[in-house]
A and B are shown apart, each in its own frame.
Chain A
Amino acid sequence: MFEALGAAAAVTLQPDNIWYAILGFLIGAVGGAMPGIGGPLVLTLMMPFTIGMSPESAMILLIGAYTGGQYAGSIPSILINTPGNSSSAAAVFDGYPLAKQGEGVTAIAVSATASGIGSILGGILLILIAPLLMQLVMLFGSPEFFMLGVVGLAVIVSISRGSLLKGLIAGALGALVASIGTSLIRAQPRYTMGIPELYDGINLVAAFIGVFAVAEMMRLAGQRGGSIAAALSKTGSRIKGIWWTLKEWWTLLKSTAIGIALGVVPGEGGTVAAFVAYGEAKRSSKEPERYGKGHPGGLVAADAANNSVISGSLVPTLAFGIPGSNQAAILLAALMLHAVRPGPDMFGADIQLTYTMILAVIVGGVATLVLGLAFAKQLGLLSLVPTAILIPCVIVVSMLGSYVLAFNFMLTLQALVFGIIGYTMIRFGFSVVPFILGLILGPLAELNLSRTVQLAGDQNVIWFILQRPLSMILFLIILVLLFSDPIKRLLKSLRQRRNS
């Protein structure tokens, strides 16, 4: 192991490869920061340019772009309430309120520090426990995917701002909207109203652009003058951001572990990881009421998980050729372009290339820390742009971003409709977070429940699910998420009564 690791380190640290990592990071960051462009598209466009490079250099360049895109997706989340990609959506919850409070630079520094440390710790953890993670890939079947979806939906209870009932209504509405499109279960169109563009369902990124960016710009347009940041003289500080992140060290570690564990789950894990990490951070916090209003812990959880997902997603991609995320699917195509065939040998005879890729993630993490912090101040100043200038700019970027998703005006229309939905929800005191969770997790839970029912055959479905160890663990997590707060409150009131 150490010999292969040393050889991989020697390759990764060659000056050429360090430059490739930095170049990849910067290209990925620029693309990732633009809503609608996002990491997968940037990686796809970069792939042909790697022809002629060695497989190691190509992977270092592309993984640099992966880490750059993953980090930079949070920048528009923080500054203009618009996630650059779906996994950055959870960074909106506390990142944007921090920017509004005049802590734009601090929030970007928190994001860079948490993302950087998440990537680095995720990489180290992967080197140590990759064989164990390979087993985890095999443990996630349809019943476990269903339970994972329910875990995510149960997070609604812990992250709903204000009324729980409103949170549940918003979550249900999100799940209902997600059912638009051709059902994968019976192949019949649902709520498509004969519009062919709706047969593939709601585009998640267009929905995010609408619910977050368009709705927020509509809200800002209703206010008089000013800028996003309430205090014009303040933008926060980098040192404060680093300090706030390090103070949340336990959340950082937990979220990194959640990110790597769920990143391993092929396909769906990465999107869920940031939400689950956020929900857990809020649930276990001593001041949960501050979450959603600009608590650094929320941003730390979302970004650490979002970046440690990168390492996790490499495991099924390299071991079985089953990509753990969209970006991992493109890395897989790039590996094959360079005549590298993924398989268990990637964790055996070819482990040196695997270590090189993991070290590239770690180098990407270092780049996130150094470059992310270096540019935090300049980026943070964006929160001071007067709303009269900002609103038209964001609307144009949002419309353009939704259009380029598929070069189809239908998606622009979707973004607008979701903007109206989001604005209405804000006006009537509904949190959009449960709505988004319902939108993401509804189809995951529905499809896998359907598969689970098929697989159970004549058996009782509940028993079929609960007799599987990992499903049982996820069930216990759901119980904790649903009932830990009420039980805590009950115990507290009992204690108070006894004392009085």
Chain B
Amino acid sequence: MKLKAAVAIGALVVGASAMQVAAQDLRWRTINVIVPVGAGGGSDTYARTILPVMADCLGTNVAVRNVPGDGHLLGIGQAHRSNPDGHTITVFNLPAIPITQLSRGEDAQVDIRDMTYVGTYGSSTLVLYAHPEAAENIDDLMALYEGGESVIGAQDRVGGGEVITHVMRDQWGLDWQELVVYDGGAQLVAAILRQEVPGGVTTDASGQSAVGSGQLLPIASLGAERSPLYPDVPTAEEQGYEDLSALGFWLRTVAAPPGMDEERLAAMEACLEEAVNSDQIQEWSENTGNPVMFVGAEATSRSAAEAFRIIGEIPNFDEIAGN
């Protein structure tokens, strides 16, 4: 790991242009990108937009393949078992996928801890939303549940949304009784709009349109910093509640099979950084509201390990996972 880190840091120091020459010296074939979700969603859009620019920097192109199934683990598993020659990579979110993997226990078909992390190219901040008639801040929501309200919404079963909602109960004392699970962020937002549930957690982008309508209120950013989409909405910590950013700030990561050649990893990492910082991707990010950010291989690998540690410490995780 130390050697990998040293190489990664070294690669950053050398600089992007030099790396581009080196990358081309490595002779890249078409890079197969396995997207472990169906076509059209956020993960697919990010991969199809940013990774071709990365491949262009490497002097090659990408072939994107959607392999949905088993809560993303099917596609990631295929990438995990591929040849670690840099020509197969996959994309997934932290800490959502560690949650899925740990919930499967020994039945999980892949262990993402030993994957080769290329880096992070995007992020999403989880936001606690409420109906405007229900609450304007976390204090209001706490009072609502103390007053007898029992239900809260979640965007997924045994995913980042559900787990953080349980942690809010354990650590903040948000006293909900029934967690109603919906099929994704959009469906959760719809449920809040029609006041079926008073609130729930989903990503900042999922609620953006409904917030614009005035019928949905973002009441707290669950990341360490405010969401760039809602700069006026304070974080949970700013409102005096325990920081949950380890679970509330999602990283969109790029990973390769375990044991990838370090030279190729360094070249790919540098080109991912160049792609994220390119005018084309920055403009796309600005136009669409999809945040992009680059985090290097070593830091991303550390984030993955940290995600596993934090999830492992959630006291009733087995109960949440239905085990």
Q: A339-B288, A454-B151 are in contact. Are A41 and B39 (CB under 8 A)?
A: yes
Q: Which of B60-68, B236-244, B261-269 contacts A (4 or more CB under 8 A)?
A: B60-68
Q: A44-B40, A187-B157 are in contact. Are A196 and B74 (CB under 8 A)?
A: yes
Please tell me if A225 contacts chain B, counting CB pairs below 8 Å: no
A321 to B288, CA, bound (A): 13
The interface residues of chain A lying within 8 Å CB-to-CB of B191 are 141-142
B209 to A321, Cβ gap below 8 A? yes
Nearest-CB residue, chain B, relative to A201: B69
A388 to B206, CA, bound (A): 51
A408 to B183, Cβ gap below 8 A? no
Q: Which of A74-82, A241-249, A326-334 contacts B (4 or more CB under 8 A)?
A: A326-334
B190 to A322, Cβ gap below 8 A? yes
The interface residues of chain A lying within 8 Å CB-to-CB of B284 are 337
- CB contacts under 8 Å to A, within B173-225, are 178, 180-183, 186-187, 189-191, 193-194, 196-197, 208-210, 212-215
Please tell me if A289 contacts chain B, counting CB pairs below 8 Å: no
A405 to B311, CA, bound (A): 33
B295 to A: closest C-beta gap in Å: 24
Please tell me if B25 contacts chain A, counting CB pairs below 8 Å: no
B288 to A407, Cβ gap below 8 A? no
B74 to A336, Cβ gap below 8 A? no
A187 to B322, Cβ gap below 8 A? yes
B70 to A: closest C-beta gap in Å: 4
A336 to B288, Cβ gap below 8 A? yes
Interface 1/0 per residue, A131-146 and B, CB below 8 Å: 0000001111110000
A322 to B68, Cβ gap below 8 A? no
B87 to A: closest C-beta gap in Å: 16
A454 to B180, Cβ gap below 8 A? yes
Partner of A333, one of B40, B157, B180, B320: B40
A301 to B: closest C-beta gap in Å: 28
Please tell me if B45 contacts chain A, counting CB pairs below 8 Å: yes
Q: Which of A21-29, A161-169, A342-350 contacts B (4 or more CB under 8 A)?
A: A342-350
A408 to B196, Cβ gap below 8 A? no
B109 to A: closest C-beta gap in Å: 5
A138 to B193, Cβ gap below 8 A? yes
The interface residues of chain A lying within 8 Å CB-to-CB of B197 are 455
Please tell me if B289 contacts chain A, counting CB pairs below 8 Å: yes
B190 to A316, Cβ gap below 8 A? yes
A202 to B: closest C-beta gap in Å: 12
A311 to B: closest C-beta gap in Å: 19
Q: A187-B157, A188-B322, A197-B70 are in contact. Are A40 and B212 (CB under 8 A)?
A: no
The interface residues of chain B lying within 8 Å CB-to-CB of A40 are 38-40
The interface residues of chain A lying within 8 Å CB-to-CB of B190 are 137, 266, 316, 320, 322
A184 to B157, Cβ gap below 8 A? yes
Interface 1/0 per residue, B28-60 and A, CB below 8 Å: 000000000011110011001100000000000
A219 to B296, CA, bound (A): 58
A296 to B284, CA, bound (A): 48
B189 to A: closest C-beta gap in Å: 6
The interface residues of chain A lying within 8 Å CB-to-CB of B103 are 187
Partner of B186, one of A41, A183, A185, A322: A322
Nearest-CB residue, chain A, relative to B148: A457
A326 to B38, CA, bound (A): 10
A279 to B: closest C-beta gap in Å: 25
Partner of B213, one of A43, A186, A319, A323: A319
Listed by A's residue number, 12 A-B pairs whose Cβ atoms lie within 8 Å are A138-B193, A194-B107, A196-B109, A199-B71, A200-B70, A321-B209, A333-B40, A336-B287, A406-B66, A407-B65, A408-B74, A451-B181
Given contact pairs A447-B183, A451-B182, A455-B178, a sample of 8 additional A-B residue pairs in the complex whose CB atoms are under 8 Å apart: A141-B194, A182-B157, A183-B322, A267-B186, A321-B208, A336-B287, A336-B288, A343-B213
Of all A-B residue pairs in the complex, the 3 with the closest CB atoms, nearest first, are A321-B209, A187-B322, A343-B212
